[in-house]
Chain A
């Protein structure tokens, strides 16, 4: 993109790049400059942040699952086949 100021229509395409810290420095400055002077884009930017926050709330929904007991018995079967003495290993290397 060239040196002109960002337009609103351009800014809306850059919100995720901005939030991810992926904008080159010049572009980053133009983004912030535009945002600080433009109510409409500020609202758009806030709406995107609301969207991200609200999507994130889906992680709170708890899904019921009856799988645990069955899986635990599979775990015990698996355990029986483990070699007698597991050598300690250094995993932090």
Chain B
């Protein structure tokens, strides 16, 4: 069901109200471009994908039935478009969960050598060298540009499915329901991918922050 706000935007667009379109554009352009860049490695191609998305929004607005939120609909258009383009350009060929990714989901969040091995300890599987308290790190370090670069590089190194989900959930702040609808995956699958993605970014941060 549509929110009143969404319904107003849709009616505005259908009337051809330019100010409605401009505010929609201003609200979404940055997110759409960031999402497109996840699939298309160069800026030019990403801009093209976003532009095509806006045109598809305009062309489709009269047929949009409001079965999903406006945001979900727009993001879906972009992601479908981006996948098609990226596949054509040979940049993205891992659309469904590959076998690799399924085995990958059994990969531990934390390397096994960080824990006491079985039966070797009064508390088996307890931390060997526990994680440190990041609350003691200077805030400037956590919030530095360098730290942001480490995070971006870590996200870049994720599998496409993990990258999609962490971008939608933790950068674009979509709900799990919205993200699942857009990507056509189950909630439990979504959680596995999200957890793997976060765990890898955490590990990259740990290596950087504590070196």
**Residues on A close to B: CB < 8 A?**
7-10, 12-13, 15-17, 20, 22, 39-41, 43-44, 46-48, 50-52, 54-59, 61-63, 65-68, 70-72, 74-76, 78-79, 82, 86, 88-89, 91-92
Contacts and interface: CB of A to CB of B under 8 A. Distances in A.
A83 to B, nearest CB: 9
Contact of B16 (A9, A40, A82): A82
B18 A47 contact: no
A67 B188 CA distance: 38
B171 A43 contact: no
A39 B130 contact: yes
B22 A91 contact: no
10 contacts: A9-B110, A9-B125, A12-B109, A43-B131, A50-B142, A54-B142, A55-B155, A56-B171, A56-B173, A65-B47
Contacts, number: 159
Contacts of B66: 91
Given A20-B176, A46-B133, A86 B14 contact: yes
The listed residue with most B CB atoms (<10 A of its CB), out of A17, A40, A46, is: A40
Interface string B18-31: 10011001000111
Contact of A47 (B14, B25, B202): B202
Contact of B18 (A20, A54, A59, A72): A72
B166 interface: yes
B191 interface: yes
A40 B191 contact: no
Interface residues of B, number: 68
Nearest to A81: B16
B72 interface: no
Nearest to B196: A16
Interface stretch (B78-86, B87-95, B96-104, B145-153): B145-153
B148 A71 contact: no
Nearest to A39: B130
